[in-house]
Amino acid sequence: MWRKIDMENLGDLGDMSYDLEVMCRHAVDRSHGGLVEIDLRYFGTDELLEYIADRSSNLRTLRLIMCYPLADEGFVEAVVKLPLLEYLEVSHCSLSGESLKVAGQSCPNLKTLKLNSEPDPKFNDDECNDEDALAIAESMPELRHLQLFGNFLTNTGLNAILEGCPHLEHLDLRRCFNVNLSGDLAKQRFERIKEVKRPDDSIAGHPYGTFPIDFGYQYGSSDYDWY
């Protein structure tokens, strides 16, 4: 028991009479170092993530979803202690590309990365940003599954990923409106990838990428399987 912890909060922390972080710490303690998967949604701090990392060196899967208080420093201090990590999701969290690079360098077995955000479809050129893409390309060569829902990367960043991650099998670029997949890029680069979801493809089935970010939002899907 306690090898997997899934704590889904619906954003109503102010109405709770109990402390989710205290509950999570107790659950981690009960795992006695055997924790392999943890899922935190709508709550979580640097201190909690450090507590988990210090006691869960066997962790394989880490999902951090809408954990707004998390900062780069806390994330980095934790992820360097998780060398066996194979699956990382950081959705709607404010982390830099440099933090992702540290994650890739510290977790050589990383096979799946989900990095989800929610951009305005009416973007402008000032919002192009390849920082995340370049960090992924430089540090995560063993990736098989990559989801960049709503990222601001351009074709430059995408090319870097395709060159730096030669084992990619599934690539999700939905709502990455700065990417243009026409011409030779789509034909030549994607031949080895089994499944590609393009910027304008349907967002059906995406669990929390279809709404404005709102602390009062209550989403109903808990299905994370996108491949």
Locate all alpha helices (DSSP H) within the chain, ordered by sequence: 20-31, 46-55, 72-79, 97-106, 131-139, 155-164, 184
- Span 132-158, pLDDT tens digits: 999 999 999 999 999 999 999 999 999
Distance CA 210, CA 221 (A): 12
Q: Where are the domains of the chain?
A: 111-203
- pTM equals 0.85
Nearest in space to 147 (alpha carbons), one of 101, 79, 202, 90: 90
Assess whether pLDDT exceeds 60 at residue 121: no
Query: Which range, of 59-68, 123-132, 175-184, averages the lowest pLDDT?
Result: 123-132
Assess whether pLDDT exceeds 70 at residue 122: no
Return the DSSP state at 59: -
Range from 89-98, 159-168, 182-191 that averages highest in pLDDT: 159-168
Query: Which range, of 111-115, 185-189, 218-222, averages the lowest pLDDT?
Result: 218-222
